[in-house]
C-alpha cells in the first residue's frame, strides 16, 4: 500500500479487520484482543519507518559538477508540524517537528514553547469549549497530556510565547475522544463520600486519587 495513504485520519476510517489485514502486509501478527488505538499507532510507526527507508537522496556537487556526497532527507524535512494520537480517553500523545528557521527564531527571541489544548463539543466547530496550556520541556519533541473529563473533540496548537506575545506555529488535526463511563465523569474525590471514616484511616483516598490522576483509563 502507498505510504502516502497511511495517516491517522485514514486509519481511523478502517474497520478493525482491515487494520489487521494492513498489519499483515507489514508482517505483523496482531492478537485478537489488541486495542484498536495501539494497532493504529503501530501502523503509523511502521509506515514512517518504511518512508524513512525510502527517503529522497540529494546529490551535493561542487562548482565543477563533481559529486561529493549523498545526503538522505526525510520526507518531512525542515517543516514545522504537530500531530496527536489518543492513547486512551484519558491521555493524549502529542509529537511535533520544528523547522530550522522557526527553531532559530524561537531561540533568538528567547521564546518558550507551549501546547495549547483546545476542546470542542462538535466536529469541525470553530467555537472552543475550553482550553489550557502546557509548557514544553526544553529540546523535547513529544509529550503526554492528561485530558479533562467529558470532552468530545480535541485539537492541539504549538505556541511560541514570551511576555505579551503569542504565535501559533502549527495546529494538529482534530481528534475525537470516545465516551467513557458516566460514573468516572461524575466522580469527585474531593466531595464524594464513598468511604466510611474507618476505611479512610487506611489512606485509601489519597492512594485512589493518585491512581486516578495517573491511570484514569484503568477506572473505565
Q: What is the pLDDT of residues 94-120, one digit of tens each?
A: 999 998 888 888 888 888 999 999 998
Q: Is the pTM of this model over 0.75?
A: no
The least confident of 72-76, 181-185, 211-215 is 72-76
Tell me the range of 16-25, 108-117, 139-148, 200-209 where mean pLDDT is highest. 108-117
- pLDDT higher than threshold 90 for residue 51: no
Please, what is the average pLDDT of the chain? 76
The three grid cell numbers given for residue 12, joined into one nine-digit string: 481511523
Place of cell 491512581: 211
Neighbours of 96 (CB within 10 A): 21
Tell me how far apart the alpha carbons of residues 35 and 182 are, in angstroms, rounded to a whole number: 21
Q: How many CA atoms lie within 13 A of 164 on its CB side?
A: 0
The three grid cell numbers given for residue 31, joined into one nine-digit string: 492478537
- pLDDT higher than threshold 70 for residue 56: no
Q: Which residues lie closer than 8 Å to 144 by C-beta, 6 or more apart?
A: 87, 91, 92, 93, 94
Amino acid at each position: 500500500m502507498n505510504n502516502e495513504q497511511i495517516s491517522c485520519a485514514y486509519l481511523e476510517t478502517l474497520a478493525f479487520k482491515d487494520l489487521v489485514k494492513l498489519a499483515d502486509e507489514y508482517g505483523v501478527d496482531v492478537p485478537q484482543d489488541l486495542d484498536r488505538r495501539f494497532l493504529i499507532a503501530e501502523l503509523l510507526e511502521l509506515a514512517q519507518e518504511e518512508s524513512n527507508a525510502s527517503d529522497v537522496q540529494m546529490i551535493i556537487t561542487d562548482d565543477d559538477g563533481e559529486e561529493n556526497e549523498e545526503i538522505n532527507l526525510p520526507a518531512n524535512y525542515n517543516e514545522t508540524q504537530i500531530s496527536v494520537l489518543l492513547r486512551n480517553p484519558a491521555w493524549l500523545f502529542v509529537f511535533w517537528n520544528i523547522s530550522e528557521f522557526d527553531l532559530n527564531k524561537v531561540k533568538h527571541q528567547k521564546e518558550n514553547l507551549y501546547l495549547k489544548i483546545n476542546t470542542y463539543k462538535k466536529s469541525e466547530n470553530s467555537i472552543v469549549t475550553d482550553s489550557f496550556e502546557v509548557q514544553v520541556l526544553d529540546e523535547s519533541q513529544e509529550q503526554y497530556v492528561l485530558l479533562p473529563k467529558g470532552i468530545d473533540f480535541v485539537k492541539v496548537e504549538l505556541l511560541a510565547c514570551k511576555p505579551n506575545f503569542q504565535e501559533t506555529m502549527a495546529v494538529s488535526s482534530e481528534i475525537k475522544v470516545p465516551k467513557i463511563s458516566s460514573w468516572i465523569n461524575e466522580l469527585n474525590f474531593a466531595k464524594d463520600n464513598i468511604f466510611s471514616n474507618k476505611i479512610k484511616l487506611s489512606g485509601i483516598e489519597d492512594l485512589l486519587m493518585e491512581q486516578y490522576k495517573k491511570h484514569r483509563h484503568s477506572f473505565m
